[in-house]
Amino acid sequence: MSEQSTQVLPAARRKAWFDPWSAGAVLIACVVLAPLVAVVWFALTPTDNIWPHLLSTTLPRYVVNTGLMMLGTGTLTAVVGTATAWLVVMYRFPGRRWLQWALLMPLAVPAYVGAYALVDFLDYAGPVQTALRSTFGWATSRDYWFPQIRTRGAAILVIGAALYPYVYLLARAAFREQGGAGYEVARALGAGPFARFWRVGLPLARPAIAAGVAVVMMETVNDFGTVDYFAVQTLTTGIFSVWRQGGNLGGAAQLACVILSVIVILVGLEKTSRRRSRFATSARNVRPVTPAQLRGAGAVAATLACVLPVLAGFVLPVAVLTSHALTAAQWTAPGLAEAFGRTLLVCGLAAVLAVIGGVFMVYGTRLSGRRLPQLLLPVTALGYAAPGAVLALGILVPLAAFDNGLADLILSITGRDPGLLLTGSAGVLILAYVVRFFAIAEGTADAALGRVPASLPMAARSLGRSAGQTLRAVHLPLIRASIGSALLLTFVDAVKELPATLMLYNHDTLSTRVYAKASLENIAEAAPAALVICGVGLLAVILLARAHK
C-alpha cells in the first residue's frame, strides 16, 4: 500500500466515525422514547409506593373494566368490520357502491363525541324519551322503564361504532386480494355462502382481522373521554385519578406501566399477524373475486347490515350535534374562535415537526446503515401505541423539573423570576403530539422512500450532490404526495387527541372545549367545536378512501 493511501484511510475512518445523519436519527429516536423510559423509571423508583394499596383496592377493578372494554370492543368491531367487508367485496346489492366508502366515515367522529351525542339523544330530556312520553301519555320516568345509558355496555357500543373501520379496512383489503378460484372450487363442492366465508375467506383474512382488532384494542385502552363520561373506571382514568387527584406520581406511573405491558403484548400480536399475512396468497396474477348479485330479502338485509354501522357511528352523532349548532349564537360563543386558533397552531406545528423528524430519521437510517438507528427505528412506533395519558406523564414531570431548574438559574443570574417557561405551554403539548403520532410520519416516510428507485439518488451523489442536497432535489419531490398525506393524518389525530391535551395544556383547544362543555351537560356549546373536529376528520377519511380504491 502506498504512502498516500495510508494517509487517506485514517481520514475516511474519522469522517465515518461521526455521521450527522445517523446521530440525528438516534437523537430523534431518543426524544420519542424518552417519555416511555421516564414512566418506567418513575414506576421503579416511587417516593411513596402505593402499589400494594392499588393491588388490594382499585387495581383489580381497573384491570377488569379495561379487559372487558377491550374484549367487548374487539369482539364488536371484529364482527361488524369483517361482516361488512365480506358483504361489499363478495356481493352486489343496492347502495353497495357508496356504502363501501361510507363505512369509513365513523373514523371522522371521535368516540367521546359519539358518547356525548348518544346520551343527549337517549337521555330523559332527549328526543327519544320525550317522544315516548308524548305518545303514551307518561308523565315522569316512574311511569315507564328505559335502559340506563351511562353504562359499560353503552361505552363499548360507542367505541365500537367509532373504531370498527380499522377492522373493516384491513379485512376488505384481505378479501379483495384473495383469488376467486378458491371460492369457485368451494361452490362446486357444495359449500354454501356461510361455509365459503367460514372455511375459505375467514382463515385467509384472519391475520389482517387480528391486526385491525389489535389496533382497536389499543385505541380502547387510550380512550378517556368516553369511559370518563360513562363513569367506567379503567386504567387510563386511574392514571388521572391517582396523579391529578391523589398527587402520587409513582402510583400513576405504575398504572401506566400496566398499560404499557398490555400495549407491548398487543403490538407483538399485531406484528405477528402482519408477518403471517404475507402468506395469504402465493399465486401471481390472481383472478379477482366476482361479486354475486343479491336480490329480494338478501339484498335488503345486506344493505341494512352496512347502513346501520354508518348510522350509529357517523349519522347519529353528526345529526345530534348539528341540531344543537343551528343557531348562530353557538358559533359566536366566547372562546370558540380562540380554541380553534390554538388547535390549528399547535396541531399544525406538531404535524410539521413530526413529518420533518420522520423523514430525517428514515433517511438518516437508510443512508448511514448503522446498526443502532436500524434497531431504534421500529421501536419508535411504541409512542403511537402508548395512550396519551401515559405519554403526558412521562413528558410533564421531567419537563417540569427542567423548567424549575432553568427558572432558578435565570433567577440567580438576573434576579428576576421568569416562572415556568415550558410547563403548561403550547410547546409541551406540541412535543407530546410529536411523540404520540411520530409513528404515522415515520411509517409513511419509510414506505415512500422505499419506493424511490435507488438509481436516482446514486446518480445525484455521483454528480457531486451531498446527502442533504440529494434529499431536497431527488427524494422530496418524489414523495411529496406521501408527505402531504402524513401531514394531514398527523394533524387530524392531534386535533382529536384528548387525554394528553387535558393533562398538559391549561388553555382550551377544540377537544378540551368539547370535553369541558359536555361534562357540564352543555351539549349546545360543545356542538360547534365537535362538528369542526368531525369535519377535519372527514378530510382524513376522504384521503384514506382515495388511497384504498
Mean pLDDT of 503-508: 85
Q: Domains (ranges, CATH) in the chain?
A: 325-549 (1.10.3720.10)
Question: pLDDT tens digits for 456-505?
Answer: 778 877 878 888 888 888 888 888 888 888 888 899 889 999 998 988 88
Alpha-carbon torsion, ordered 345, 346, 351, 352, to 10 deg:
60
Is the backbone of residue 140 left (phi > 0), alpha (psi -120 to 50) or beta?
Answer: beta
Least confident of 145-149, 347-351, 366-370, 518-522: 366-370
Residues 6+ apart with CB under 8 A from 71: none
Q: Is the pLDDT of residue 343 over 90?
A: yes
Least confident of 134-143, 269-278, 358-367, 513-522: 269-278
Backbone angles phi, psi at 387, to 5 degrees: -60, 155
Amino acid 283: pLDDT: 47
Residue pair 110/496 in contact by the 8 Å Cβ criterion: yes
Query: What cell was used for 154?
Result: 353503552
Mean pLDDT, rounded, of the chain: 84
AA identity, residue 191: A
Backbone angles phi, psi at 422, to 5 degrees: -110, -45
Query: What cell was used for 277?
Result: 399475512
Least confident of 174-188, 204-218, 403-417, 488-502: 174-188
DSSP structure string for 462-521: HTT--HHHHIIIIIHHHTHHHHHHHHHHHHHHHHH--HHHHHH-SS--HHHHHHHHHHTT
Amino acid 9: pLDDT: 38
